[in-house]
Structure 1
Amino acid sequence: MRVNASTKASSSRQGALSGPSAGGQNAPPSNVDPAPVTLRSFQAVWCGHRFVREVVLIYPVYAVMMTENVSEFAFATLLAFWSASVLFAEIPSGTLADRVSRVRLIGLSGVIKGLGFLTWFLLPSYGGYLLGFVLWGVGSTLRSGTEEALLHDTLHKLGVPERFEQIHGRGAAAGSLGTIVAFLGGGYLAEHSGFELPLVLSALGPWIAAAVAWLGLNDVPRTGPPPQEHEAYFDTLRAGVREAVGRPLVFRVVLMTASIACIWGLMDEFMPVFLTEKGGVTLFDIGIVYAASSGANVVAVALAHRIPARTPRRVAAVFGVAAVFLALSVPTSGYVAAAILVISFGINGAASVLLTGQLQRAIKGHARATVTSVAGTGAELTGISLALAGGGAAELADWHTTTTFFAALALLLAAVFVMRGIGATPDDERAPG
């Protein structure tokens, strides 16, 4: 009832995305579309783009495909190189998004991502897999921070900045619906026709998403104090890094993003081999499990804004609940383990939406995408370490050991963040104590 009332009250504030804004907002480098844009039309394009971008049919089975050709540790090194490619491009791309058209970058990211999957088809070897991951990583960095910054500033221009978690959650839910289509279709095609057809078709989703972004989204004037006239690239970079590490609240949220939030990303990569190792799970079954996980994620992220977790400590508690379910999957097997993992991933999705909202509200300067990319860089550094550690554990023991390690680490980090009481309110700027 509270959300409905808020929606009704905010509808009168939906304005046109035209003309310069007051309060020191600076215009983006590209031309801003003067045509009126309502929240409803923006949300439709936003969610449509997020949906079609994730219709990548190789998603549920590429781990199985690659581990048929390379060892467990070699596969882990591919994930590490993937993270490294994101790491080296993360902050520069975020700073770029604070200076050039964000819409163009979002579209370009889809083109590059699609080329990565096409590379896997043309070069089915360790080198080809590596190149494909690098392309995928670079494509991801071009939209990492860029999408959140564009969404934040668009909602601010429309007069509904308080609906960030809601719209961001709906976009994430649309992306999850796209992955459900990919998981079911990709698992079925791989089971009945092999990996080649899903690989070729996987390039289409990101390419169509690029067209949707370029044709349907608009750049808007940016919030925060404007950069100085003719401010250099490195000045923007310096401003973003300074805010990320120099303001206590922002640093706290960045630290959470760079640690506990990235564990499920790696577990998502290892889940197919973890389940097949336990036996009794086919390629199509993996697609079904992933689809169920995405379905749980759709519900969780769409309802995340209803969770009363407006401080980093409470968000850490939500991550802690997800960690408990991750730990419960370790001693089980088959569809029971899969069902528990589905619940864990759903709760993690809600926590991630809440954490993103915390970060966007905490940022006050103009280098918004740069700050977000700093958080992403920290996550990739952690991801490289965890990928190598998890792959090494699987090489020496099994994927069961890797999952145990991830679950224990997630529980430990959640407990630390909750007990230390990191952050009181989104506006709290006191030094951590």
Structure 2
Amino acid sequence: MNAAARRIQRVYLTLLLGNTLAASFIWGINTLFLLDAGLTNFEAFAANAFFTAGMVIFEIPTGVVADILGRKASYLLGTITLAATTFLYWMLWVWHAPFIWWAVVSVLLGLGFTFFSGAVEAWLVDALTHTGYTGAMEAVFGRGLVVTGIAMFAGSVLGGVVAQVTNLGVPFLLRAAVLVLMLVFAAFVMRDLGFTPDRSRGPIAATRHVLTQSIDHGLRKKSVRYLILSAPFASGVGIYAFYALQPYLLELFGDPSAYAIAGLAAAVLSLAQIAGGILAPRIRVLFRRRTTTVIAASIGSVVVLIALGLISVFWVAVVLLVLWGFVFAVAEPVRQAYLNDMIPSKQRATVLSFDSLFASLGGVVIQPGLGRAADVWSYGTSLVIGGVVELIGVPLMLASRRQNELADTARSEAERD
């Protein structure tokens, strides 16, 4: 890797570190925070569903922003929006606001995250290509998972401890503060390399052109379409399980006020993510096709979720949580590399936003449904149902595999040597 590529990777990893650290301050206690504000289980997961609905609504427009105005502009807008809406979330908790306001602010939180999705990944791939990087993208995405795993561990543990010592609102204030720091950092170091925004058209015409091209290279391309259509099932179930495991672990532990234990769910997942990120490139070379890794990991996730729902022993649940996080971490860099290899640079951010949009759609429908199942039956039952729902995405991934894309068997120079 040359010096320019190393610099790009360092900036990318720093952005991931800061963003994940900020976000993870509340990951271990978010559900408890919402319940403490007076929401029911159904309302808490409905608030999360409104967040993902915001991502659905704004995913494509913000992806177009990244493809027209630039990836850096999109990142900065996202940081500003997310910092402001995080502070609003804290105010709603202070006021014990009615559910309607949680729904509104959750949608705006989704807007903030959509400025990130697609833009940072597209920035990385374009900039590395510009520098002449020829290594495996799985390795870069794997390092990203390691860094986010470290940040997730530190943030989730610290968030849980801070909430225990102070109250459930302070981690949200910490999150907003770190986002402001990341805004300053990105303003000085990010540069759009390997990508020139097309400003020759007016905003409406440019938006229409980018969307048309993105649909041609995205949903109309079978291999990409089937992969994107599989996203709602794994993502929707994954988002629900991540947040449901907070109160579920407390239930198994036997102390509903042990907020530090609630942070354990996110912390354990982060350690599994670090291991998966390190091993993903190594596991990838064991298989001729990238889709083999992704499909096997999805089936493994289904099995672990069902087992999590059936057991009632706290430490066994922790072990299963590690396995669940590991299979996700192994699959994600491989899936990212597979998808990016099938998308042209000019439409990359928008097509990646299509992928995020469909993943968010799963969260909109699946989260409140599984939350209702937890209210009526139990968290364990809802996890078993979630595992069955995730299984629906496997045939769609198999359909993408059957298109026999070159990206499915692509290897870097280092892997071929």
Query: Is residue 54 of structure 1 aligned with residue 20 of structure 2?
Result: yes
Residues 419, 263 of structure 1: alpha-carbon distance in 2 compared, 3 angstrom cutoff: same
1:263–1:383 CA contact under 8 A, matched in 2: yes
Q: Name which of structure 1's ranges 193-202 and 253-262 shifts more when overlaid on structure 2.
A: 253-262
| TM-score of the aligned structures, taking structure 1 as reference length | 0.84
Which one is further off, 143-152 or 247-256? Answer: 247-256
Deviations 1:296-325 (A, max 9, x none): 101212331222253334411122122222
1:4 paired residue number: none
Q: Is residue 234 from structure 1 mapped to residue 205 from structure 2 by the alignment?
A: no
| 2:45 matches 1:65 | no
Q: CA RMSD in A?
A: 2.4
Who is 1:32 aligned against?
Answer: none
CA positional deviation for 1:397: 1.6
Change (3 A) 1:44 1:311: closer
Q: State how 1:28-427 maps to structure 2 within 5 Å.
A: 38-56=4-22, 57-68=25-36, 69-124=38-93, 125=97, 126-222=99-195, 229-230=200-201, 232-281=206-255, 282-308=258-284, 310-333=289-312, 334-364=314-344, 366-414=346-394, 417-418=397-398, 421-427=401-407
Q: Distance in 1 between matches of 2:228 and 2:383?
A: 25
* Whole-angstrom CA distance in 2 between matches of 1:141 and 1:305: 27
Deviates most, 268-277 or 252-261:
252-261
Distance in 2 between residues matched to 1:365 and 1:240, nearest whole Å:
10
Cα separation, 1, equivalents of 2:369 and 2:79: 30
1:171 CA displacement: 2.0
CA deviation vs aligned residue, 1:112-165 (integer Å, no higher than 9, x gap): 212222112212133453344223211110011111111110111111254322
* Residues in 1 aligned to 2:27 and 2:234: alpha-carbon distance in whole angstroms: 23
Distance across 1 between alignment mates of 2:49 and 2:265: 25
Q: Closer, same or farther in 2 for the Cα pair 1:419/1:143, shift >3 Å? A: closer
Secondary structure (helix, strand or coil) at the match of 2:28 reads coil
Distance change in 2, residues 1:260/1:108 (3 Å): same
Deviation at 1:240, TM superposition (A): 0.6
Amino acid at match of 1:248: K
Distance 2:252 2:32 in 1: 14
Distance 1:112 1:302, change over 3 A: farther
Is the Cα–Cα contact under 8 Å of residues 223 and 399 in structure 2 kept in the other structure?
no
Q: Is the CA contact 1:249–1:426 (under 8 Å) kept in the aligned structure 2?
A: no
Give, as a single letter, the amino acid of the residue that structure 2 aligns with 1:252.
Answer: Y
Q: Write the distance in 1 (CA, Å) between the matches of 2:185 and 2:368.
A: 37
The SS at the match of 2:346 is: coil
Change over 3 Å in CA distance of 1:228–1:53 after alignment to 2 = closer
Distance in structure 2 (CA, Å) of the matches to 1:298 and 1:209 = 22
Q: State how far apart, in whole Å, the 2-side matches of 1:259 and 1:197 are.
A: 33
The Cα shift of 1:278 comes to 3.0
Task: Determine if contact 2:226/2:396 at 8 Å carries over to the other structure.
Answer: no
Write the letter of the residue equivalent to 2:15: H
The residue identity in structure 2 corresponding to 1:357 is: A
Retained in 2: the 8 A contact 1:116–1:134? no
Give the 3-state SS of the residue equivalent to 2:341 in structure 1: helix
Gaps of at least 5 residues in structure 1 are 1-10, 15-36
Q: Following TM superposition, by how much is the alpha carbon of 1:229 offset from its aligned partner in structure 2, in angstroms? A: 4.8
Shift of 1:168: 2.0
Q: TM-score, normalised by structure 2?
A: 0.87
Of 297-306 and 368-377, more deviation after overlay is shown by 297-306
* CA distance in 2 between partners of 1:328 and 1:58 (Å): 26
Given residue 63 of structure 2, which amino acid in structure 1 is its aligned partner? G
Separation of aligned partners in 2, 1:384 and 1:63: 16
CA distance in 2, matches of 1:314, 1:166: 15
Letter in 1 for 2:73: R
**Would you tell me which structure has more helix in proportion to its own residues?**
2
Distance 2:199 2:72 in 1: 23
